[in-house]
Structure 1
Amino acid sequence: MIFEDFKYLVNQAISLANKESETSMAFKQLLTLGGKQKFDDGKMTLGYRENQILQTLELTDLKEDPINLDVYFHNNKIEVTTDDLRHVKNSTYAFSFDYPLKKWKHILAEENELLNIEYKQALLHIGDFNDLKKRHVVDMAEFFLAHMAPIIFYINENVYSNFDYLSNLYAKRRKDKDDFLFEKLRNTAIKDWKQEDLIFICFLNYLLSSGIQTRAEEFNGKQVSMSALVTYLERKNATYVDMGISDIEDFKSLTLDEKVRALRQKYAKIQERKIVYRRINGLSLQKSEEYLNDATLLEDLPQNLKLSNSLKLNFKIDSANLQSYKNSVNRYLTNDDGDLEEKFLKLLRFLLFDLSEKTSADMAFSRFFSSLGRLLELDKNGEYQAISDLNAKNYYCYVVPGRKMVEKLPKVLVTNVNMAVTSRMLYNSWHYMPANFLNDGINTEHREFYFSAVMADIANLDKYHHVGHVKMSINNTIRVPKELYIHGRTYKALLDVRLMRRGDQEFSVEDLGMAVNYTSYIQHLCQVLLDVLDKDRRFDFALEQMDKHKYSLQFSEIKEDYLS
């Protein structure tokens, strides 16, 4: 069986490019990955030389004193060069074409001139840093990038990335002997840094200072420069002003440092007014900051009349407001009618299946925590290192297959899919926990971790990079992370709700809004469970891990309860 992952698409695009008689059409096949992505998305990766060549291909006499140029797919972008990259890492030869030598030399000269201008701009901002400040900036860049989602930046033909096989910034748990950038920069005077490296560090330093670290992800799969940074900051400010954040200063006249500080303050205000989410192109890994306009979703418990009626009918739960909902859930969980865990999972299953129905998702699932009593006791005693050291088996995931999976797929296959998702999510949850204790002096040198997810996201074309998504053709996803509270401490991303859908039909913004709505109900269900366990000092309580037998029973229950 052939899995259509990213490498497969690249090889297919190269094959199609070689069938084209026009060089411009061959480039188009590569830029669109054989029609899988938008032409403009592919162009964002291109350096100056490739852009100039594309613009002049149809206007230039290619036979005029020609030079033969090679085209490679190198580091996930097109690279035009006279160098032989056939044996270079992450490089695949695509095709060759003739181009006027005089024009080629002119383009290279312009490219170098523009690079010098960008370098001088970056040098103005960090060129006079002493060794201590230089190391601090590099250390902070590494700290952020080591604990966040992947970035892929380009400066002409240079890639800067912490993504899987492109990673070249810092040593991970790898045996190869790559010359990692951050360590080299720490031990080199700024005046001796490569021009592109200095631009990258300066760009990243200011970008990360302008708001949440996901700012960096907005430049995934794009060319970065100091001029691009200024344009980005000014456009972001204009967006915030259009959304009602007052612009008390002439933003364009501010210094770069002032722009960064002002934008950071405005972003904090935006979070109070809007649900901020990320839109993700899973193929190019390009991401953008977006906003849900439904103000009711900011409420502690957004109203949902149909869901409220169903909760009242099926569980005698009143959700007229947050307090009523929490009181009703408390009574439901603590009455003498049945086992606490069974009642919790029955309500959780109902909410997740109902959400999958409302959004036509193939599956809905929620990350949570298994060893709840142990977590409560450790937190009560301030044993944050012990919490961070808990292994993945202490976490929890509950997967609910949607209607299409239950009706069309055999039970054994659905059960295996559920288990694969569950196993991955336990590890995912384990990754997030230490970020909750970064100010408590815990030691994380013996393990990796990621910053806790705080922003919802919606992704399409998501089946080409992630191994699990490739194998199951999961092309569209939604994720809504939520925090929970224990003894007054906020545990970010201790919970999230996710939706997955196969095929080409993308999730809509309305689907995301529905997921945000339902996640609030699930969040408060989990919070009530925690509060009940804490009040009764049930420090031995743990949700039993899901296994094939439990998922097999769940499959039958869904058929009987919802589809019969």
Structure 2
Amino acid sequence: MIFQHVLGREQLRLIDPLAQQFETCNVIVTHSALGRMTLHEVGRNDPAVSEDVVAGIHLPEWLTGQIEEEAAAEQALEDHERAGVDALLARWRDEGVLMTKLNEVIDWVERVETVFVYIGRVLFSRSDSGSSTLIKGRLLPALRTRPLEEWTPEERLFVGAMQLLFRTGRAVRFEQFNGRQLSATRLRGVLLRLCSGYRLALGMRADADLATMTLEDLATTVRDLVSAVDESRYVRYRRVNGLTYAKDEFVLPWDVSDRALTEVPPVLAALAARHRGEPPGVDADPRELVGELTARAVEIAVLDGDVTALEEVLNAIVLGAVLATHGDYAMTSGIRDLADMAVAENTPQKILELRKNNFFCCVVPDPALARRMPGAELSEVLWQVAQRMMYNRWHFIPGNFDREQIPQQRHYFFPPLVPDIGEWCDQRHGGHTRSQVRFTLRAPGAAMWMPAFTPEGHAYRGCYDIRVVRMDGEPFTLADLRMASRYSGLIDVYWREVAKRSEAGGFPPPVIKSYGADWYREQRWSTSLAQLVRDMETPSCTRL
């Protein structure tokens, strides 16, 4: 509330802590080790604990009066919404399921990369790159030994809110409050926005009843609309803020007919020309061409064990993505051997025994980046990226199974389901900082508007993707996000073709062999890139 009133008022001045006037300040400005600026009210028992004091502000009485008026009204509204959350928790206690609900939240906060939520001055966090008060700090486990009546208001709100957010779309919903204040009124605002956006996407009329729904009913309504939205002419996507860890979902109008490439990318036309002796026709369908190239590559791999042609198709798709989106480098990651995705007797035991090296990441730089950055330096960047994505693939794949099928000690994240567009991703994430990942696109597959990928009979989401990175310059646009999703669609064709050919032929799927440390550090990526660039420069392709 104070922030809203002090910003833009030129008559207010920041006062140096060493200045004599500092004693007149009724608001203290601090900066924490985690980069958070906070205002503390001197007269409200609100000390600046363990934070650097950077300045003070003297608010005149007429302004503090306005702030107190608005704060009182906001608190009355918040009290009303909190009463609803408390009633929900009390009902769970009376039904004997409160500890189950708590244990679910304790588990769920481990299934996303970062939870970093403020309720008042209390930080609820679970992060590899920041603090971790929820589990390591024992904030949530400690509640197991205390009756509900002894939980603090902040603890009650957090547990109730996380349960409701999870209902709308699993633990990734928690990230909508990262770096922000969570309140019951803001929770209602998020649920209303999601529900209203989904209803808009489905062509439904405005509904006055939404405003009077309980938080629980709102969350359930959002959940019930998600699958219909994914089948509509709208697409769900997220915006990622690397500074705050916040990830906000929106819906994007995008006709189904526009979600696939309509023109063959030059790099794929060039690859086809090299293998077929002539480029594809001007009316060729890019998805059909990828299917044809993949089918041919599978046949070669089965006949003589050489998967070079199969890997060339991946290289070409990734290079096409980086060129089409004007990125610095792009990548796709997946499993090396599709046979490893088989589920025997409805148990993922084989999958849970996989290691990081059972996965791969094909990273291809823009040719312009390859020209301006020394080869050894760029190779190291690409290999660091590849290792992180291999780890992510290993980390994501268990999320395609029910919780009871996964051992408690096996850590995993829920796989990404919708495209996202990120900014300032190099500010807090160590791996992103080293690899200069400032602006990002991610389009996971199989896309939610497509059937799940079902090799060996089990349905998977988020098991392959297209990602694009810009090291600097301007952020990506929604047009870029659409383009990355179209190229992810080509990766989808690729994997479905590999699975289809293998299953129809009754032979094991070919195993991807490249994209290890030697492929990057010996600069084999450079040889592959140079060949694809030469292909595009041949006379038959330059006329396309």
Q: TM-score, normalised by structure 1?
A: 0.79
- Give the corresponding residue for 1:284: 244
The 3 A distance-change label for structure 1 pair 102 and 561 is closer
Correspondent of 2:419 among 453, 456, 460: 456
Determine the C-alpha separation between the residues in 1 that align with 2:319 and 2:22: 65
1:297–1:517 CA contact under 8 A, matched in 2:
no
CA distance in 1, matches of 2:22, 2:106: 48
1:349 partner amino acid: N
Structure 1 Cα separation of the partners of residues 10 and 156 of structure 2 = 32
Per the alignment, residue 186 of structure 1 pairs with: 144
Question: Structure 2 CA distance, aligned partners of 1:265 and 1:118?
Answer: 23
Instruction: Give 1:361 shift.
Output: 1.1
Other-structure match for 1:269: 228
After superposition, where does 1:79-228 map in structure 2 within 5 Å? 79-81=38-40, 82=42, 88=50, 91-99=51-59, 110=71, 114=76, 116=79, 119-130=82-93, 132-164=96-128, 165-171=130-136, 178=137, 180-228=138-186
CA contact (8 A) 1:282 1:465 kept: yes
Q: Which residue of 2 aligns with 1:547?
A: 517
| CA deviation string 1:77-109 (max 9, x = no partner) | 322334797773xx3332334456998799689
In the alignment, the residues of structure 1 paired with residue 519 and residue 167 of structure 2 have an alpha-carbon distance, to the nearest angstrom, of 49
Mapped partners of 2:320, 2:511: distance in 1: 27
Identify the match of residue 303 of structure 1 among 243, 250, 262. Answer: 262
User: What are the within-5 Å matches in structure 2 for residues 369-388 of structure 1?
Assistant: 369-373=335-339, 375=340, 378-379=342-343, 384-388=348-352
Counterpart in the other structure of 1:528? 497
SS at match of 1:452: coil
Secondary structure of residue in 1 paired with 2:464: strand
Of 350-359 and 253-262, the range deviating more from structure 2:
253-262
Residue 234 of structure 1 and its aligned partner are, at CA, apart by 2.4
Is the CA contact (8 Å cut-off) linking 1:398 and 1:546 kept in structure 2?
A: no
Distance in 2 (alpha carbons) for counterparts of 1:465 and 1:384 = 34
- Report the counterpart of residue 501 of structure 1 in structure 2: 470
SS of match in other structure, 1:498: strand
Who is 2:540 aligned against? none
Pairwise CA distance, 1:501 = 1.0
Select which of 205, 213, 236 maps to 2:194.
236
Instruction: Give the 3 Å change call, closer, same or farther, for CA 169–334 of structure 1 in structure 2.
Output: same
Query: Could you list the runs of 5+ residues in structure 2 that have no partner in the other structure?
Result: 16-20, 447-452, 538-544
3-state secondary structure, aligned to 1:222: coil
For 1:108 and 1:120, locate their aligned partners in 2 and report how far apart those are by CA, in whole Å.
22
Matched length: 504
Cα shift readout 1:334-392 (whole Å, capped 9, x = no counterpart): 1489754100111111111122111111111111112444x15x535655212112111
Moved more, 461-470 or 305-314: 305-314
- The Cα offsets for residues 225-246 of structure 1, whole Å up to 9 and x where unpaired, read as 1112222222333323333342
CA deviations over 1:18-41 (Å, ceiling 9, x no partner): xxxxxxxxxxxxxxxxxxxxxxxx
Structure 1: gaps of 5 or more residues: 1-47, 172-177
Offset at residue 422 of structure 1 (A)? 1.4
Q: How many angstroms apart in 2 are the aligned matches of 1:276 and 1:361? A: 23
Greater shift in the superposed pair: 235-244 or 103-112: 103-112
Q: Distance in 1 between matches of 2:392 and 2:22?
A: 57
Is 1:258 the counterpart of 2:217 in the alignment? yes
SS at match of 1:405: helix
**Counterpart amino acid of 2:124?**
Y
Pick aligned residue for 2:396 from 426, 432, 438: 432
Q: In structure 2, give the amino acid aligned to 1:367.
A: S
Partner of residue 446, structure 1: 409
Quick one: distance in 2 between partners of 1:65 and 1:384?
A: 64
Counterpart mapping for 1:279-358 below 5 A? 279-296=239-256, 302-306=261-265, 309=269, 312-316=272-276, 320=285, 326-327=291-292, 329-335=294-300, 340-358=306-324
- Residue aligned with 1:414, SS: helix
Instruction: Tell me the amino acid that sits aligned with residue 238 of structure 2.
Output: R
Question: Normalised by the size of structure 2, how large is the TM-score?
Answer: 0.82
Q: Percent identity, aligned pairs only?
A: 19
SS at match of 2:425: coil
- Asked if the contact 2:297/2:307 (under 8 Å) is kept, the reply is no
